Amino acid sequence: MLKLYGGARSRASIVQWYLEELGIPYEFVMLDMQAGEHRQPAYLAINPMGKVPAIVDGDLQLWESGAILLYLDEKYGKVQHSPEERAKMAQWVLFANSTLATGIFVEANREREMPRLMTPLNEILQRQLFLVGGKFSVADVAVGSILSFIPLMLKIDLSSHPAVFTYMKRLSERPAFQATIGSRK
């Protein structure tokens, strides 16, 4: 059975959300980050960086939430994607984990980057319900999870980006979201 390693209030919830969407059985291994379990040899053998999340799926050990999401989509996704669609999925997953997360959660960047990121994202979401191919995908898990952390952690007013707010609400109503990230509120 696939094992997902994470800590309380960690990015493991992003992976957990997608596992729930896919309906894949998994074991969640909660590491006590305060006690340093993520720095112990047993876990460092899975992720030498000592960060969460990580998964073990058979012989595969994989870390970094974006890489895990793309792997899960490729192996367990219900829809086969063209190379172009996979590239678009990867684009949004990488955007979420690097550009969007850094723009929102690095305080020194926030004032400058939030308008640069949220304005075009709002425009995109005014034209379409989801990010790739008109249907919910791993891209929405990646971007939606980062966006969902805004009200949980920062309390930033998003009223000037109504399409982003509507998108976040739409995603937050999904049962798999409610069972994972939504249960943290």
CA distances from 106 to 93, 148, 171 (A): 18, 16, 24
d(CA 30, CA 52): 10
Q: Mean pLDDT throughout 151-176? A: 92
H helix or E strand, kind and range, residue 20: helix 12-22
Strands (E), the chain: 2-6, 26-30, 54-57, 60-63
Domain boundary assignment for the chain: 2-76, 83-179
User: In angstroms, rounded to a whole number, what is the distance separating the alpha carbons of residues 137 and 79?
Assistant: 9
Helix 83-94 and helix 65-76: axis angle, to 10°? Answer: 150
pLDDT classification of 144: cutoffs 50, 70, 90: very high
CATH placement of domain 83-179: 1.20.1050.10
- Comparing 77 with 184, the larger pLDDT belongs to 77
This prediction has a pTM of: 0.95
What is the predicted pLDDT for the residue at 154? 87
CATH of the structural domain 2-76, one choice from 3.40.50.10680, 3.40.50.300, 1.10.1750.10, 3.40.30.10: 3.40.30.10
